[in-house]
Amino acid sequence: MRTSYLNIKTEVMNRIRQNIWPPGAIVPGEVALAQEFGCARATVNRAMRELEQDGVLERKRKAGTRVKHAPSQKAHFAIPLTREEIVAGGNAYRYVLVDKAVVPVPVWLRAKMEIEKGAQCLHLKCMHFADGRPYQFEDRWINLAAVPKAAEADFEKVGPNEWLVRQVPYTEGKVDVSAGAASNDVSELLDVDVGSPVFVVERTTWLDGHGVTFARLHFPPTYKMTTRF
Amino acid sequence: MRTSYLNIKTEVMNRIRQNIWPPGAIVPGEVALAQEFGCARATVNRAMRELEQDGVLERKRKAGTRVKHAPSQKAHFAIPLTREEIVAGGNAYRYVLVDKAVVPVPVWLRAKMEIEKGAQCLHLKCMHFADGRPYQFEDRWINLAAVPKAAEADFEKVGPNEWLVRQVPYTEGKVDVSAGAASNDVSELLDVDVGSPVFVVERTTWLDGHGVTFARLHFPPTYKMTTRF
DNA sequence: TAGTGGTCTAGACCACCCC
DNA sequence: GGGTGGTCTAGACCACTAA
């Protein structure tokens, strides 16, 4: 085809990189570009809309389209299932359930997930291994009021994350990433020294505003979360 | 307007959540949906295309559109300028250049950024403070062959990241996030114990395949990278 | 090879919002 | 008020690929 929206995207990017359209400059309107490229406005529109999503352009009705001063950089991290992540890395995956208990929801968790008082929850401790080496320690809490079926699952074969994603898909959530010090438990399970650095990912998940699950994932300091942008 | 692509998106999401279209199920084709919703196929197409981007659907020519078994969860973290990040948090920002030197590119950096042998680079050490407390220690390397102008900048007032983003926008890069142990230098600058956990963000940046800059950002363990999905 | 999504067009109406 | 992007339409051709 003569003019694809992709061609327009790359052409626009070229002009920006070559400083023909410097940061802050206003870009010709859609009608003008459509005429220049000899295509329909809808085609230009799609190209420009995607460039806006990519963080390169700023668009406002009436004001027109401008080149962003500082392109908003976004790192886009995928959050795969641990099993898939390990297998994708070419390693053998092994999962072990370390501990399982039904307990009243602790106060800190109630605050974090906005759970009603007196609810019961399932507390799981799991290990994930890659080629026999400790890969991740998963400290997981599941709100049984939100997911009653979890009480019947045994979690011996399938990890809670994988189970949950099948039972309660399409949830909303929050992710916190940080560095922490290995506690006694964690250091033993991950086979690192007490107090040494541990990479921590915390995930809180809601469904329709109800707290579903909270997980704290601990990785040895060899672990890196990587992405390109 | 009667049928917006947004209405279609929410309606489709509802059907998925209510298990009318369970995971793995094939969804009616675009023509069928267009007829059902009483709109043009292009409208349905946009809705479905965006839902695919959102990780909810899988689309293949001829095979049709299916609901994903496990929705691919993506967290996308914004990477703001440190100054803006601190100011946005309601804190006073202060920047200090700790050290600056022109040196031959070290071997490990040449390997990482694919820089030609014998090139010179600028090595900067900077501190960022939030309300007087150490917020980030920035260990930055700039390839002078790629950014000659950097040799003239003094980096006393403006940090290298902010300077670079203005001089060399629209680059490609890689981000690695991990946990590390504080070295002697870092522990002193961040005011933490030697060997204690430090949150580390490493960013490598290329322009047209040429290594531009590498930065290792160290945060005290109180720091958390947060996002919602 | 037939059916599905991928894309483009030419035209239209509208909502928003800077000037 | 008027110009800009936001969206929708009805129709068309094409590319890919599963059956």
pLDDT tens, residue by residue, B101-144: 999 999 999 999 988 888 999 999 999 999 999 999 999 999 99
Point out the residues of chain A with pLDDT beneath 50. Answer: none
Rounded to the nearest 5 degrees, what angle is found at the Cα of A17, between the Cα atoms of B81 and B165? 15
B170 contacts A71? CB cut-off 8 A:
yes
Rounded to the nearest 5 degrees, what angle is found at the Cα of A104, between the Cα atoms of A200 and A207? 60
Q: Phi, psi at residue B148, to the nearest 5°?
A: -60, -35
Q: Are B218 and B136 in contact (CB under 8 A)?
A: yes
pLDDT for the residue numbered B202: 97
Q: Which residue, B58, B62, B56, B129, is CA-closest to B91?
A: B129
Q: Please tell me which residue, B73 or A178, carries the higher pLDDT value.
A: A178
Residues 45-104 of chain B sitting with CB below 7 angstroms of strand C = 45, 48-49, 52, 59-65
Q: How far apart are CA A55 and CA A75, in angstroms?
A: 12
Listed in order, strand segments (DSSP E) in chain A are 26-27, 57-60, 64-67, 73-79, 93-104, 120-130, 133-143, 172-181, 197-207, 210-219, 224-228
Q: Which band of pLDDT confidence, cut at 50, 70 and 90, is reported for residue B2?
A: low
Asked if residue B169 has pLDDT above 90, the reply is no
pLDDT for the residue numbered A2: 58
Give me B52's structure tokens: 């695919």
Q: Are B112 and B214 in contact (CB under 8 A)?
A: yes
Listed in order, strand segments (DSSP E) in B144-223 are 172-181, 197-207, 210-219
Q: Which band of pLDDT confidence, cut at 50, 70 and 90, is reported for residue B5?
A: very high
Which nucleotides of strand D lie within 7 A of protein CB?
Answer: 2-12, 14-19
Rounded to the nearest 5 degrees, what angle is found at the Cα of A30, between the Cα atoms of A24 and A34? 125
3-state SS class at B100: strand
Phi-psi region of A174 (alpha: psi -120 to 50; beta: other; left: phi over 0): beta
Asked if residue B1 has pLDDT above 60, the reply is no
What pLDDT digit, counting tens, does each position of A144-181 carry? 999 999 999 999 999 999 999 888 877 888 999 999 99
Q: Which residue, B228, B174, B163, is CA-closest to B203?
A: B174
Listed in order, strand segments (DSSP E) in B19-171 are 26-27, 57-60, 64-67, 73-79, 93-104, 120-130, 133-143
Contacts 24+ apart (CB under 8 A), B43-52: B43/B3, B43/B4, B43/B5, B43/B8, B44/B5, B44/B8, B46/B5, B47/B5, B47/B6, B47/B8, B47/B9, B47/B12, B48/B8, B48/B12, B50/B5, B50/B9, B51/B9, B51/B12, B51/B13
Which nucleotides of strand C lie within 7 A of protein CB?
Answer: 2-12, 15-19
B173 contacts A229? CB cut-off 8 A:
yes
Asked if residue B192 has pLDDT above 70, the reply is yes
Rounded to whole angstroms, the distance from the CA of residue B14 to the C1' of nucleotide C10 is: 35
Beta bridge partners, B121, equal: B103, B143
Burial class (CB in 10 A: 0-12, 13-18, 19+), B124: buried
Question: What's B220's DSSP letter?
Answer: -
Phi-psi region of B55 (alpha: psi -120 to 50; beta: other; left: phi over 0): left
C-alpha separations of A221 from A39, A135, A180, A197, B225 in Å: 53, 10, 10, 6, 17
Mean pLDDT of chain B: 93
Q: Are A152 and A216 in contact (CB under 8 A)?
A: no
Chain B residues with CB inside 8 Å of A226's CB?
174-177
pLDDT for the residue numbered B142: 97
pLDDT for the residue numbered A80: 84
What pLDDT digit, counting tens, does each position of B122-131 carry? 999 999 999 9
Nucleic strand C under 7 Å from the C-beta of A1: yes
For chain B, what percent of residues have pLDDT higher than 90? 80
Name the protein residue, with chain letter, whose CA is nearest the C1' of C1.
Answer: B62
pLDDT for the residue numbered B42: 96
Give me B160's structure tokens: 């290298």
Burial class (CB in 10 A: 0-12, 13-18, 19+), B170: middle
Question: For B63-79, what is the mean pLDDT?
Answer: 86
Q: Which band of pLDDT confidence, cut at 50, 70 and 90, is reported for residue B195?
A: very high
Nearest CA of chain B to the CA of A161: how many Å? 11
Q: Which residue, A32, A74, A34, is CA-closest to A53?
A: A74
Give me A77's structure tokens: 């991290």
A72 contacts B170? CB cut-off 8 A:
no
Asked if residue B47 has pLDDT above 90, the reply is yes
Q: Which residue, A178, A82, A171, A174, is CA-closest to A130?
A: A82
pLDDT for the residue numbered B65: 97
Beta-strand relationship, A64-67 and A26-27: antiparallel
Chain A residues with CB inside 8 Å of B229's CB?
79, 172-175
Phi-psi region of B100 (alpha: psi -120 to 50; beta: other; left: phi over 0): beta
pLDDT for the residue numbered B79: 83
Q: Are B70 and B81 in contact (CB under 8 A)?
A: no
Question: Has this prediction a pTM greater than 0.75?
Answer: yes
